[in-house]
Amino acid sequence: QKLKLCKPVVRTSKKWTSEAVGELQGCLDCTDWDVFRSTTNSLDEYTDTVSSYIYFCEDSIIPTCTRLSPTQLHTSATPHPPPLTPLTIKEEEVNRLFKRLNTRKATGPDSVSPSLLKHCANQLSPVFTDIFNTSLETCHVPACFKTSAIVPVPRKTKITGLNDYRPVALTSVVMKSFERLVLSYLKDITDSLLDPLQFAYRANRSVDDAVNMALHFILQHLDSPGSYARILFVDFSSAFNTIIPALLRDKLFQLNVPDSMCSWITDFLTDRRQFVRLGTHVSDLQHISTGSPQGCVLSPLLFSLYTNGCTSGHQSVKLLKFADDTTLIGLISDGNESAYRGEIDRLVSWCSTNNLELNSLKTVEMTGDFRKDPAPRPPVILCDSPVSSAESFCFLGTTITKELKGGRRTSAPSPRRLSRGCISCGTLKKFFPTCKDFWLTSTLPSLNLSSHPPSQSGLLQLQPGQGQTA
């Protein structure tokens, strides 16, 4: 009833008809891009002028339409390989990326929409290829590519303070495509030099591998008599926002990244401009030179490279990482926890040196212990505060209990898991009988369900004659 009382919202969108797209492509085909290049020696001015002209063409040619949308109510030391050549971007790569853009994504602060780039990829890829390569040669990122609109996204339904919001950066769509090309280049250089227990942005590794590896370490150790495991799930406060560009540059150089790329990344993170957008309200422009904004394509990989040197120095303590998700596993025998506690102290010291802030309030510990009547264990002290103990924890999307029974999926499965064929039993019950039988007989036996197997009761409900199946 309350939804009916709310006035619908009038939304304006572009109408990308074939006639309008053809006219826009013809306009851009007739454009002499050399005029923009020859009138200035400033990369910032060159990029700004091109972006503004493209937006002007789109705004003048592509018609708009309005529609009514109902209001939604929201509740509140390894040898280095030979150095690689500097990155040079090809026009075909830019064209391919532009054509793969999702037109439903939001437009960045430069007003160049993904629809425009997708429909006019052939016309725009030459000029942006020139801009990208000039940026790499001069180790300078245009100012309009470093401008971000910060949108506060709620972390939870009930908001009690500013810390309950996640600041997500809305950046240029063109810059995101540029970042993807740099991302692929960096991954090729650094993959063989990364910590083997870092699972993010690695070839043939995934979230499931991280979960299975953690459970393997723990369960293998618990086979020994008189043993137990303590698992510390570490939480960082605004992890991406605390990266120091100068420190990151040194770490990249040690990972065999060419000096020109180190300089480009330093410039990418330095003197960024940002403003906060909340509905129709916009804040003043601020300049920052610390951190890598959440929402940038490069941010997770840059954080992984930044923390690559954070490893365990003891064989009985494992430090697993998935980007900014860090887990410390102490494999303890005969009640000797000195190695485990020593590695925690090393972690605290490393974070202090590298400007990372540990969040002791959100860091939790869980103990896996199959012994009968184990003696009480003193709590772990982190930053002068005792770490709270948990009966279960959602580790990279999989809930693990203190009995080490992993695989109970969280209430909201991620699209990544669903795309891999992990369909819930509740969803499967709604399928047509023919589709359901096909999935049960052909797809289900081939899936790797070790991380999140369906319950026995759920499988029984899917069998013919067992409850309502359609």
Q: Residue 321: exposed, middle, or buried by beta-carbon count in 10 A (0-12, 13-18, 19+)?
A: buried
Can you give the pLDDT at residue 186?
93
Percent of the chain residues past pLDDT 90, beyond the cut: 34
Per-residue model confidence (pLDDT) at position 10: 56
Residue 81, C-beta contacts closer than 8 angstroms, at least 6 positions apart = 192, 256
- Give mean pLDDT, residues 2-24: 67
What is the sign of the dihedral through the CA atoms of 180, 186, 192 and 196? Answer: negative
What is the distance between the alpha carbons of residues 361 and 58, in angstroms, rounded to a whole number?
49
pLDDT at 331: 94
Output the pTM of the full model.
Answer: 0.74
In the predicted model, what is the mean pLDDT of residues 156-168?
A: 81
Q: Does the pLDDT of residue 185 top 60, yes or no?
A: yes
Per residue in 105-131, pLDDT (tens digit) is: 888 899 899 999 999 999 999 999 999
Return d(Cα 209, Cα 398) in angstroms, integer. 12
Q: What is the mean pLDDT of residues 213-228?
A: 90
Per-residue pLDDT of 351-395, as tens digits, reads: 999 999 888 888 999 988 888 878 888 888 887 888 888 888 888
Nearest-angstrom CA–CA distance, 75 and 157: 5
What pLDDT, on the 0 to 100 scale, is given for residue 410? 45
**Beta strand pairing call for 272-278 and 147-154:** parallel
Write out the two tokens for 150: 């910060």
Asked which of 17-31, 305-319, 387-401, 428-442 is least confident by mean pLDDT, the reply is 428-442
Q: Which two tokens stand for residue 201?
A: 């942005």
pLDDT grade for 273, boundaries at 50, 70 and 90 = very high
* 271 compared with 10, residue with greater pLDDT: 271
Report the C-alpha gap between 71 and 223 in whole angstroms. 56
Q: Please list the residues that pair with 469 across neighbouring strands.
A: none
CB 328 within 8 A of CB 317: yes
- Is it the case that residue 418 has pLDDT exceeding 50? no
Q: Which two tokens stand for residue 216?
A: 């393997």
Strand order of the β-sheet with 325-333 is 317-322, 325-333, 227-234, 364-368, 388-389
Q: What is the DSSP letter of 154?
A: E
Write the pLDDT tens digit of every residue in 58-106.
888 888 766 655 544 343 344 444 446 889 999 999 999 999 999 988 8
